[in-house]
Structure 1
Amino acid sequence: MKRGKGMKFVGDSRVTADKQKFIPKDYSEYPGRTEAFWPNYLLKEWLVGAVFLVGFLCLTIAHPAPLEKMADPTDTSYLPLPDWYFLFLYQLLKYKFASAEFFVLGAIVIPGLAFGALFLAPFLDRGEERRPHKRPIATGLMLLAFVAVFWLTYEAAAHVDWEEKAENNQPEWPDDQVAIDIDESDPAFALYEENSCLNCHGGDLSGGAAAPSLIGIDLDAEEIKDIAVNGIGEMPADQFQGSDEELDQLAEFIVSVNEQAEAEE
């Protein structure tokens, strides 16, 4: 029989193949600490992130975000502000080169380039160095982003009187409010709206940041008419533009609303 003919190879599954245990790559040729990314380095990153996350959660529980009053579309003096982590974008849109006809540049192009640069930083700088001064592209982009966000946030927050804003926007709990059914079909309500009373005092006469509430006032019809014509405090004179009969009708309307509020209390 010739060599190789008729020879059969039989495999036995009971024989285990020699397998080497997981051995981290030798990082001695790289500067810095020599350790494997998985699981050594990544586990440390997760632990640090968990500590910051728990700290942030404890902070939100100890100092919860304050509530504001219910949204009033008729309150033209209300200054809407984004959350603190978007204040830098809010400030960016105040500059001439990023607002008005250049709104697209400030709202889409500049933020898109900024976040795109941060996203591409690991791909633009693929060096093996781990020291910041040896990676100028990635370090420069991160420092530029940090300084820009910090400065824009500071500029946006510095021009807001936070104590006054919180005072003017305190929440009104349902238990403390009296539900008043305003008859908007009443001709007097049309006078209330036409003379810009609604813009300051609100559709339900509950007032706002620009004007006090007209509910719960201890004034009669004559006093209300005098204020509507001559003004009071920050309210200028000649706010009412109409006939004497319409002025009487408006004053009686406000008095009737207050009488309804007293009856429901």
Structure 2
Amino acid sequence: MHKGKGMKFVGDSRISAERKSQIPKDYSEYPGRTEAFWPNFLLKEWLVGAVFLVGFLTLTLIHPSPLEGMADPTNASYIPLPDWYFLFLYELLKYQFASGDYILLGLLVLPGLAFGALLLAPFLDNGPGRRPKQRPVAVGMMILALVSVIFLTWQSVHVVDWEARGEANKPVPESEVAVDTEHEGYAAYEANCMTCHGAELEGGSAAPTLVGIEYTAEEIQTIAKEGTGNMPAGLFTGSDEELEQLADFIISVNESAAE
């Protein structure tokens, strides 16, 4: 037997002598399926991003956001809404099974299960295929989530009168009426009416202005006791004498404004 015949010498016994070279595979055998990252692939990404950005800016110009006026802490009838991307969660709380005694179910349990399922989707369906039909669990969960979010968002937007909300919360111009705080009816106005109608009777988003009205003293007293329009009855809690003083105060302010 000749020396060295049938023997293989390696520098490290842990490395097989049959180890292949670490030369990267030549992808030229797959024409059209691979390309250089720079500039080919990156240029395509930039073009797609530019088209999306131009489209988004165009939408903001054509259909601006329904911005409202300054917040009015005296407006007890104003119902605040979350941003549009949370409207589906807001709508969810309107259903009986997610509100009232089951509010924790709507606030924590259902959203937690939904978002948790989406996070676990790649682990629940980890097949090697990339086509939708080869990933039924992940694709089904994503479609269900998209349909639910779109439907709940549409339901929430559909029932909101956005134009009316914008008009109701517009800033009220400052009044130039001089209010006589020494008038005997001012205390009754301050205790019963100022919260909604303002310190200078200028009104607000919750109530109209009292400057420029053409009511008699009797009509003002009737409205203060029985209400009118969006104003409910029973808001005035003073005596009959204070009611007369209130009516006289409002009339005096209008008379001074007319001069």
**TM exceeding 0.5:** yes
The answer to whether the Cα contact below 8 Å between 2:68 and 2:165 also exists between their aligned partners in 1 is: no
Match of 2:224 in 1: 228
Offset of 1:146 from its aligned partner?
A: 0.7
Secondary structure of 2:88's partner?
Answer: helix
Within the candidate set 188, 192, 197, 1:191 is matched to 188
Residue equivalent to 1:240: 236
In structure 2, the residue matched to 1:249 is: 245
How far, CA to CA, are the matches of 2:109 and 2:179 in structure 1?
47
Q: Which amino acid aligns with 2:135?
A: R
Check if 1:35 corresponds to 2:31: no
Aligned length: 236
- 1:10-159 equivalences under 5 Å are 26=27, 34-35=33-34, 44-45=44-45, 47-159=47-159
- Mean CA deviation greater in 149-158 or 99-108: 99-108
- Asked if structure 2 preserves the Cα contact closer than 8 Å seen for 1:25 and 1:36, the reply is no
The 3 A distance-change label for structure 1 pair 68 and 42 is: same
Q: Provide, for residues 204-236 of structure 1, a one-character-per-residue CA deviation record: whole Å limited to 9, x for no partner.
A: 543345532213324464543343346555656
1:86 to 1:185, Cα distance in 2 relative to 1, 3 A: farther
Identity %: 57
Match of 1:15 in 2: none
Superposition RMSD in Å:
4.0
Deviation at 1:136, TM superposition (A): 0.9
Paired position in structure 1 for 2:209: 213
Instruction: Give me the whole-angstrom Cα distance separating, in 2, the residues matched to 1:223 and 1:168.
Output: 25
Structure 2 counterpart of 1:101, which letter?
D
Q: Distance between the aligned counterparts of 1:182 and 1:68, measured in 2? A: 29
8 A contact 1:216–1:258 mirrored in 2: yes
Distance in 1 (CA, whole Å) between partners of 2:52 and 2:198 is: 44
Between the aligned partners of 1:37 and 1:105, the Cα distance in structure 2 is 50
Q: Are the structure 2 counterparts of residues 160 and 222 from structure 1 closer, same or farther at C-alpha, using a change threshold of 3 Å?
A: same
Q: CA deviation at 1:143?
A: 0.1
* Cα pair 1:221 1:255 within 8 Å, conserved: yes
- In the TM superposition, residue 85 of structure 1 has moved relative to its aligned partner by 1.9
Q: Deviations over 1:88-129 (max 9, x none)?
A: 111111122222333232122322222232233334333332
Q: Please, which moves more after superposition, 183-192 or 82-91?
A: 183-192
